[in-house]
Amino acid sequence: MNTSTPTLADLHEHQWVGFDRSDQMIRGFAAGGFKVTREFFGFRCDNQIVAWQAVCAGMGVGVGMKRVAAQRPELVQVLKNIPVSPLTLWITAHRELRSTPRLKTVFDALAEALAAPE
């Protein structure tokens, strides 16, 4: 496993954290011009929270939201010049809870904060 900062030339030499059954990251890499398979990811998990914690624990290079990563000063952004298409973010709640004032307040605050430019 390569412990240096990844470059486009040695992308495949690094330990990557990715999804297991979902092909979302494989499709994302392909959209960026990088053909990878499931085996490209040394640590695979379909739980995004677990995958993010694996990245934070140093288990490999991963993908995450800049605003979330900014809360972890030990993380280092790599491959900064690769354009990444925006991803959809869903904020969801059970149908019966959507109209409760407290939940609406939280959802509105989240939507506003996540939509604000960096």
Q: 10-69 pLDDT, tens per residue?
A: 888 999 999 999 999 999 888 888 899 999 999 999 999 999 999 999 999 999 888 889
Question: DSSP letters of 1-45?
Answer: ---SPP-STTGGGS-BEE-SS--HHHHHHHHTT----GGG-SEE-
Q: 66-93 pLDDT, tens per residue?
A: 888 999 999 999 988 877 777 777 888 8
Contact between residue 99 and residue 105 where contact means Cβ atoms under 8 Å apart = no
pLDDT at 5 over 70: yes
Q: What is the pTM of this model?
A: 0.75
Q: In this structure, how many other beta carbons lie within 10 angstroms of the beta carbon of residue 103? A: 13
The whole-angstrom separation of Cα 88 and Cα 98 is 20
The whole-angstrom separation of Cα 73 and Cα 69 is 8
